[in-house]
A and B are shown apart, each in its own frame.
Chain A
Amino acid sequence: MPKALQALEQAFLDYLLTGDPDILAPHVAVKGKSSVDTKLQIYNNAYKMRFREAIDTNHELLGLYLGDELFEAMVDGYVVKHPSRYTSLRDYTSHLPDFLRNNAPFSAHPILAEFANFERLLLDVFDALDAVSISIEDIRMLPAENWPEMRLRLHPSVQLFAAEWNSVESWQCLRAGVSPGAANSQPESYWLLWRGLDRLSEFRSMTADEYALIQAIVHGDDFANMCELLTQWHTEEAPVAFINYLNNWISNGMVIAIV
């Protein structure tokens, strides 16, 4: 093990984490026109700037929602609390919803964690693996007697989101350049996110029955079970409702296999 190198790298990182120049300054040569302090400061500024940019890039509207002052407070708090253990800056912000949920002053506003969570899911949708979606034709070929035992496989980009606050509505307002208004808790709302056939990330709201249905797909339930589940909302027309949902999911590229 190269001991001196290891100690120096550790000192450099400790300096970046704490901002205390005395940790690294004794190792730095006096050269060129700038002072040792300036040289050190360049690295410290870059360190924070990089994470600030990652948060800003990954959470494009959270900063707008928080306003400058709270955004800076969030960046300062998060950078200190969560040194990166990731290769990708994309993953670096993955603890941000938890950070907002658990740390004052953000924890007093539960909508913030929810908002950040929604943006995290949009990133996951964008980055998900590719898979070939099936078409309506593929499903027409299946023998009717096999239907009750059939199961669906969803595209890797499909994500579900349940909101207790008007977080998604606020996100939509900011996206449209409109003021989002006050945070309100509201009856649970359900959202479906996926990457469309043109590779754009999309999302739409859904009703409680569709939300339950997609959870059942993820859980591995077959068509018979799903129709049974739907009778809670659609007493007689459960199979019709199921076919309608199925058509919608398939034509939007959300289904990759029926097995």
Chain B
Amino acid sequence: MHDSHFLGFGLGLRTPHYDYVIQERPLVDWFEILTENYFVGGGKPKYYLHQVREHYPIVMHGVSLSIGSTDPLNTDYLKQLRALVAEIEPEWISDHLCWTTVNHINSHDLLPLPYTQEALAHVVSRVQQVQDFLGRQILLENPSSYLDFNHADMSEVEFLSEVANQADCFILLDINNIYVSSRNHGFCAEQYLEAIDPKRVRQFHLAGHSDYGDYVIDTHDHNVCDDVWSLYRKALMHFGAVSTMIERDGNIPVFEELHAELAQARQLFLQTLELDEVPKPENLVLHA
């Protein structure tokens, strides 16, 4: 039914919830951390992270790999990443299928790639270099985007699948991003899901967005909307049991509210897969 990498239901670890998580130890199967927040020398972020790590599996999610950039790979960044991986021993690490810097100027945004053969060869070779450097496979997330280029050789989902196959990496499928981009570019979200090989998908993101009618912006500051829940259901039918988490970065509510939203995901998962209970994660090592 599920592979041994299934972790269950997680949440993004966010600063306002540090104390709650450590004191109350809520029933959450795992936490996702924002990698770059822990590149600081020490102090509070590191202290809390180690406390949380003692009790929960962790996955690391980065925004600065800039895998599609034509700048050389940032070796300082990769070294910091490798050191944090050694320190935290995450279940896996992820970043985005996008580019961030050009000519050493950082846009600090997850910018879209042109889905060309040239870009594909470039990204594949960079993923391979990163995986060799880190000594492990990575997950790449489908980005949300607001524009598409007019000289593409393939669709985003074809590009993403080819990157995963050729570079032998995994996919973090953001269900909300598929929805957001499908609205912005007018493609069919379900066909996108169905075009992806389930063996490549290790994690789902769910999140809220801002709907402006003619376009949708991926703001992570709302609850998950009904359309995204229904796309999640379809994703479960196609992919089976995939570790699922909810991202919330703005307008962050009390922890209990996110926890309740996560319970909704768990409920939908059990219903859709016709299960009585969530499969137990295997091979987990806690960091006590």
Contact = CB atoms under 8 A, between A and B. Distances in A.
B40 to A, nearest CB: 4
A40 interface: yes
A32 B184 contact: yes
Contacts of A31: 148, 184-186
Interface hub of B39, B107, B213 (most chain A Cβ within 10 A):
B107
Contacts of B42: 128-131, 156
A37 to B, nearest CB: 11
B102 A42 contact: no
Contacts of B106: 83-87
Given A1-B70, A42-B215, A43-B109, A29 B43 contact: no
Contact of B77 (A8, A87, A92): A87
A43 B144 CA distance: 12
A16 interface: yes
A32 B185 CA distance: 4
Contacts of B114: 4-5, 8, 27
B116 to A, nearest CB: 7
Nearest to B121: A2
A29 B148 contact: yes
Nearest to A28: B147
B103 A13 contact: yes
B105 A9 contact: no
Interface residues of B, number: 48
B41 A85 contact: no
Interface string A109-135: 000000000000000001111110000
Interface residues of A, number: 51
Contacts of B108: 50-51, 54, 84, 89, 92
Interface in B123-173: 146-152
A128 to B, nearest CB: 6
A195 interface: yes
A27 B69 CA distance: 17
A5 to B, nearest CB: 5
A32 B183 contact: yes
Given A39-B147, A88-B39, A131-B42, 12 more contacts: A2-B70, A2-B118, A4-B116, A5-B68, A6-B102, A27-B149, A31-B186, A32-B215, A33-B186, A42-B147, A46-B109, A84-B108
Q: Top 9 nearest A-B pairs by Cβ distance? A: A130-B42, A129-B41, A39-B147, A29-B150, A6-B70, A33-B214, A9-B102, A84-B106, A34-B215
8 contacts: A5-B70, A28-B150, A29-B152, A46-B109, A83-B106, A87-B64, A92-B108, A130-B42
